[in-house]
A and B are shown apart, each in its own frame.
Chain A
């Protein structure tokens, strides 16, 4: 998940937040969306429940197998404290670590960060996770109260009330939980990315293609990025299809034995070279409809 290259989609721009480092560079953090947050939480919840079930069975087995007089009591103490720690300190413990993320968040590629860009402190982590009490456990206790025989209207009112806390992230721009609000934190995407190969270098190994200035000038940055994605995904059918379209567009007459991949590599390098030279002179060409550089 963290290794594959996921190009940022243009739809994401409303979730980009400015984080200017003391060195004066804007890191452009991307906030996690509701789906990613929910996914991470479900993974963590599954881990917690799994550990709880496993540990309970293990402790029961130990208490039965080891026939010491104090064994049942000791296991009950371990279970009680373990349950308490798991429920309250699973999130806190993992978020205190260097990655500032629970296993669920790590898998999705998220981390907790302080909204003001400062260091993430232990009290902030406690606050954001203590509020889970009203976001998760309170609605849950109302659902269980229904089974316990509390009146239907009471339960409904309780669910609506506590549901406000649970669904808080859906009602604000920054996708803040009640806990994030109370702790001054937010959850951002911080995936580990792998540096792909230099595509322009691949073209150097090939036989030279002589493109005319007009042929190189057929496209802009948006098309270059699509081409980059195609080359990196390395799907031979897509490569063939795209190569055919570009050849038709720039009216390229192929030499016999010319490979689609080699053609695209060469065209990518030529197009990037042209657009980057334009960039140096302050001229950008957003897409093929834009003014040529």
Chain B
């Protein structure tokens, strides 16, 4: 009979601990941590450290490769669990609305202004051009999106679009379509920022151009005021959201091209996460805008009521996103 190997005795003494940790991680990963009792939850970090020390010992004393590979995989899983996010989903959502979203919006104010300026510039150019020569209209608005709203349309026909209450049964699908369509464009605007800002800039400008062109069309028929209400009731929220998505895209592209003091990879990753934070907010805003456009605008046909909602949403978003918060300065200094 030969002697038992030292590494074999080492394994025998600790194997139970490893298997316990393995089982606990299985359960924690399968569902939520609520599958575990408090005692089990508290034992995971202890078992993790014990297993980690086993790994060090195994690497130094054992030539059983299956054992070392097993311990490496187990320690890695446990590491990600022990040092993973500690907050619950609810806490995270709360933290997002209370601090993260407004703070990110404030930090990206420069990008937001640039994004807004581009959209405004596009709108102004298209407005002036279309007002002087209606021939420009088709250059800014593709025929399949115009939906009969062309320079040749009569004033009456254009007015019908503004106050149409047809298809009332299809309002909900319409709202859902608007939300998903706009959110997809916003995500694209964010992602395109990665290509050094330029495509995002183009997207913002062309979006502004379409607005300016259609506005000019209505102004030329003496329906400027009415058109303003039709556009702004949801437009304040929607365009604000689109502006923010552009800002998030610019942040990535700008930090990629000009990382400043930071390492380029670190700078891009930081900018990407900041932009993503803002994008969660953008999607929330667009879902509200979708409801306002799909339901609100079709049900509320009074111009003044439309303007009132537009004004209210502008003030509400402005205060929510940009009002200084008590304690924000101190936390920001940390």
Give residues in A with beta carbon < 8 Å to B: 5, 7-8, 19, 21-23, 25, 27-29, 69-70, 73-74, 76-77, 80-81, 83-84, 87-88, 98-100, 111, 113, 115, 117-128, 130-134, 137-138, 161, 165, 178, 181-185, 188, 190-196, 198-201, 203-204, 208, 221, 224-225, 228, 232, 269-270, 272-273, 275-277, 279-280
Contact = CB atoms under 8 A, between A and B. Distances in A.
B5 A276 contact: yes
Interface in B1-59: 1-8, 11-12, 15, 18-19, 28-29, 32, 49, 52-53, 55-56
A173 to B, nearest CB: 12
Nearest to A112: B80
Nearest to B185: A133
A86 B270 CA distance: 26
A28 B72 contact: yes
A182 B173 contact: no
B81 interface: yes
Nearest to B85: A119
Contact of B5 (A181, A193, A273): A273
Nearest to B75: A27
B81 to A, nearest CB: 7
Report, nearest first, the 6 A-B pairs whose CB atoms are least far apart: A184-B269, A182-B272, A127-B276, A133-B191, A126-B276, A127-B272
Contacts of A81: 176, 179-180
Contacts of A123: 273-274, 276-277, 280
Given A228-B64, A228-B65, A131 B194 contact: yes
Bin the interface of chain B by size.
35 or more
Contacts of A181: 265, 268-269, 272
A270 B63 contact: no
Looking at chain B's contact residues, the main secondary structure is helix
A193 B73 contact: yes
A100 B272 CA distance: 19
B70 A195 contact: yes
B254 interface: no
A275 B271 contact: no
A123 B92 CA distance: 11
B154 interface: no
